[in-house]
Amino acid sequence: MKLNLKRGQSFRDAAFMGIMRWAFYNRLKEEYTDAGMTYGYTAKNTRIRNGLEKGHAAGARCTGGNPKSIPSDAIYMQKAAGKRNRQIHKATINKGGKRKLNQSPKYAFGFQLFGRVQMPDGRKGFIFGRRSSGSFDVRKLDGAKLSAGISCKKLKPLEKRKTILTERSMRLPPRA
């Protein structure tokens, strides 16, 4: 007789988080004596009692113990960008045994990948793609394209690239 058994889902990551949560909390308690532990159901209860909408900002205010505070109109979006391409050569070798370089130069026409720039119309974005022709792909952090191929001569550099890119925008008023 053959049993038809299937392996279920692994709970390895959940077990790891259960252990690490307490280790992290205990170390935090040593450093900051007023640190406390909270759970999702308490934030939900606070949110419902205060008539707040469900969302990250409302949840943070409820968890922090100040649900009636006025939220900021600014929204900050962050994205981590790798520092460099560590793969020196392409995976496939060309005919004749020549290996092709995979890395592009750090600067192209004075601009760096993920550098913050200003467009001629005043909009600000990040360089997501550079071409040797001098045209760049400029986007917002959420991926919205500002220009698929704008000349580098029309761009004004604002800020050099960082490991964590930050973009500030204003919250839109709710629709009536």
Mark which of 71, 90, 121 sits at the end of a domain.
71
Answer yes or no: is pLDDT of 85 > 80.
Answer: no
Answer yes or no: is pLDDT of 132 > 90.
Answer: no
Return mean pLDDT, the chain: 87
Average pLDDT in the 69-89 region? Answer: 83
Range among 100-104, 127-131, 171-175 rated most confident: 127-131
Q: Is residue 1 part of a domain?
A: no
Residue 83 has a pLDDT of 77
Q: Is residue 176 part of a domain?
A: no
Domain with 165, as residue range(s), is 78-170
Could you read off the pLDDT of 136-154 as tens digits, one per residue? Answer: 999 999 889 999 999 999 9
Is 159 in the same domain as 106?
A: yes
Is 89 in the same domain as 165?
A: yes
Residue 128 has a pLDDT of 92
Q: Is residue 175 part of a domain?
A: no
Q: Is residue 132 part of a domain?
A: yes
Buried b (16+ CB within 10 A) or exposed e, 80-107: eeeeeeeeeeeeeeeeeeeeeeeeeeee
CATH code, domain with 114: 2.30.30
Q: Is residue 128 part of a domain?
A: yes
Q: Is residue 5 part of a domain?
A: no
Is 60 in the same domain as 100?
A: no
For the chain, the domain total comes to 2
Is 82 in the same domain as 39?
A: no
Report the DSSP pairing between strands 164-170 and 74-80: antiparallel
Q: Is residue 2 part of a domain?
A: no
Is 84 in the same domain as 139?
A: yes
Residue with tokens 């999702």: 40
Strand locations in 55-155 (E): 74-80, 107-108, 111-112, 116-118, 124-130, 135-139, 145-151
Answer yes or no: is pLDDT of 120 > 70.
Answer: yes
Mark which of 48, 71, 94 sits at the end of a domain.
71
Residue 176 has a pLDDT of 53
Range among 36-40, 92-96, 147-151 rated most confident: 147-151
Could you read off the pLDDT of 49-67 as tens digits, one per residue? Answer: 999 999 888 888 898 889 9
27/51 Cα distance (integer angstroms): 35
Residue 30 has a pLDDT of 93
Residue 39 has a pLDDT of 85
